[in-house]
Structure 1
Amino acid sequence: MLRIDKLTKRFGDNVAVDTATLDVDKPCMIGIIGRSGAGKSTLLRMINRLSDASEGRIMFKDRDVTNLTGKAKRAWQADCAMIFQQFNLVPRMDVVSNVLHGTLNHRATFATMFNLFPMADIHRAIDILDRLGIAEHAPKRAEALSGGQQQRVAIARALMQDPKIILADEPIASLDPMNAQTVMEALRRIHEEDGRTVIANLHTLDTARRYCDRVVGMRDGRIVFDGLPEQLTTGVAREIYGADATFSEAATSTEIETLDATIRAERMEAKAHV
């Protein structure tokens, strides 16, 4: 279905992604982990064609999307939606209009400039917002919503494209644990109910294990791990992150239960030293 073949990206003498190869033969949810600068975001941007590859190929079914331009490139970006850490919404625009901008690749420029959308699209946008639990916020400005709600608006905008693949670049990095879980649960439901492939860059191991069917680890631009969530042991994580024995998953957890347990343990340790 999707094949990433020896994909490489160079910025001058710096190799951001180094001969990355990844085969996705059926719809699944994939988590990509690794420390900052490992090449995760660059890899997703190349898949979406926001950034051109220096070498290698991106194949989707029988289509080579590596060097598409113009209309063909825009068609691929409609099939391969991107969700960003910073939401990329228009803050002063109402929520439903932000969602409707997911149809930009299918609408005339004049119509989109003046927010002239078919009633069928408006109803569909509201249905998607309802599915994500935020339909009541449709008439509000995007800037009036919480971070977690804004990220769900961004997911709704991606769904308006009716994509075959959803790429999420650190979708929960700026969210609190409760909103992080809500967003990840939404992405998981989209995969399971719609049969869409979801590939998400994540910064916490427990999140990757809980929500993903497959975990890919990157280090220094290379894919160094590709396996099932249960294979992602602490030892493997240390190799991916280049960490020593002091590496602790709990310190970066987004799971509320893990955070609570960590806080309790720290408090007990503090009391013991009093």
Structure 2
Amino acid sequence: MLDVKDVTRMFGTKAAVDRVSFTVTGPAFVGIIGRSGAGKSTFLRMMNRLTDATFGQIMVDGTDILALRGAQARAWQSQCAMIFQQFNLVPRMDVASNVLHGILNRRSTMQTMFNLWPRADIIRALEILDRLGIAEQAPKRTEALSGGQQQRVAIARALMQDPKIILADEPIASLDPMNAQIVMDALKKINVEDGRMVIANLHTLDTARRYCDRVIGMRDGRIVFDGTPDQLSTGVARDIYGADASFNESATSTAIPTDATADRVYADAMLS
């Protein structure tokens, strides 16, 4: 169970995240949508302890993860895997080693220095890559892969951690529509088959409607919508994004190719 209570992050006098509160029970796929600067990434970074909160609580199964320090905070990060827009892989390292780095915090310094991995861990990494359809890429340098393949390597690295929660910060923003669909399909499959909670920051309304069980809309650091995908009406979209027609381009970029209807409706509304 995830229970977020009044989580706030101040930068000087400005609240990047302003008293955010919500509860998630069970392995839901939660999408967080909103314009750039709405506080989406800052919130995920607080969940993963990459950024400190100014105040508030994030309770996971009864433990306030914002209160954890030192080894306990690092242990939480292994249970809360993060997937980034720009992949955050080691470009010159082979794919399999990048995946194995998901469990670096469980290895000794000597083992890490000499790149020594137990056979069981190597087999597991290859099995995860096979599940994501890229096992044949295991010996290649990561920099030789396409963007979509690199994002699947990043997902494999996250799965290597065997996390309770997967956080995805704009995981398809830099991908073409076809690779975006492959990556989102992979995350949804992990959510459904593994029973892992997935929380993803997303840009397009269509993607949120298609993949999420629940959608949270943020604007200026605050939650302005919390509901199901079928409640994402044009009026709700205006509350989240505002009526600025300049958002039209962002709303329709990287749309999953199978159904762009929702984004076209919103784009038409912005231009009307």
- What TM-score, normalized to structure 2? 0.92
Aligned to 2:257: 256
Q: Given residue 44 of structure 1, which amino acid in structure 2 is its aligned partner?
A: L
C-alpha offsets along residues 170-222 of structure 1, whole Å, 9 cap, x if unaligned? Answer: 00000000000000000000000000000000000000000010000000000
Aligned to 1:174: 174
Structure 1: where are the runs of 5+ without partners? 264-274
2:38 pairs with 1:51: no
Aligned to 1:17: 17
Identity of aligned residues (%): 70
Aligned to 1:113: 113
SS of 1:88's partner is coil
Distance 1:110 1:118 in 2: 13
Aligned to 2:185: 185
Q: Given residue 253 of structure 2, which amino acid in structure 1 is its aligned partner?
A: T
Distance 2:12 2:64 in 1: 25
Distance 1:254 1:135 in 2: 27
Q: Given residue 229 of structure 1, which amino acid in structure 2 is its aligned partner?
A: P
C-alpha offsets along residues 115-167 of structure 1, whole Å, 9 cap, x if unaligned? Answer: 11111000000000000000000000000000000000000000000000000
Distance 1:67 1:84 in 2: 24
Distance 1:247 1:80 in 2: 31
Q: Given residue 257 of structure 2, which amino acid in structure 1 is its aligned partner?
A: I
**Does the 8 Å CA contact 2:217/2:224 hold for their aligned counterparts?**
yes
**Does the 8 Å CA contact 2:34/2:217 hold for their aligned counterparts?**
yes
Aligned to 1:272: none
**Does the 8 Å CA contact 2:241/2:247 hold for their aligned counterparts?**
no
Distance 2:119 2:57 in 1: 40
Distance 1:243 1:257 in 2: 26
Change (3 A) 1:179 1:245: closer
Q: Given residue 233 of structure 2, which amino acid in structure 1 is its aligned partner?
A: T
Q: Given residue 83 of structure 1, which amino acid in structure 2 is its aligned partner?
A: I
Distance 1:180 1:76 in 2: 28
> Which structure's CA Rg is the greater one?
1
Distance 2:44 2:222 in 1: 14
Distance 1:164 1:88 in 2: 20
1:246, distance to aligned residue in structure 2 (A): 8.8
Any residues of structure 2 matched to 1:100-179 within 5 Å, and which? 100-179=100-179
**Does the 8 Å CA contact 1:206/1:253 hold for their aligned counterparts?**
no
Distance 1:239 1:136 in 2: 45
C-alpha offsets along residues 27-75 of structure 1, whole Å, 9 cap, x if unaligned? Answer: 1100000000000000000011111100100110121111211110011
Structure 2: where are the runs of 5+ without partners? 265-272
Change (3 A) 1:116 1:228: same
SS of 2:167's partner is strand
Further displaced range: 65-74 or 239-248: 239-248
Q: Given residue 212 of structure 1, which amino acid in structure 2 is its aligned partner?
A: C
**Does the 8 Å CA contact 1:205/1:253 hold for their aligned counterparts?**
no
Q: Given residue 155 of structure 1, which amino acid in structure 2 is its aligned partner?
A: I
Distance 2:138 2:245 in 1: 48
SS of 2:215's partner is strand
Distance 1:208 1:109 in 2: 41
**Does the 8 Å CA contact 1:238/1:247 hold for their aligned counterparts?**
no
User: Where does structure 1 differ by over 2 angstroms across 4 or more consecutive aligned residues?
Assistant: 244-253, 257-260
Distance 1:245 1:251 in 2: 12
For these two proteins, the number of residue pairs brought into alignment is: 263
Aligned to 2:72: 72
Q: Given residue 38 of structure 2, which amino acid in structure 1 is its aligned partner?
A: A
Distance 2:207 2:87 in 1: 20
Distance 1:7 1:255 in 2: 32
Further displaced range: 21-30 or 89-98: 21-30
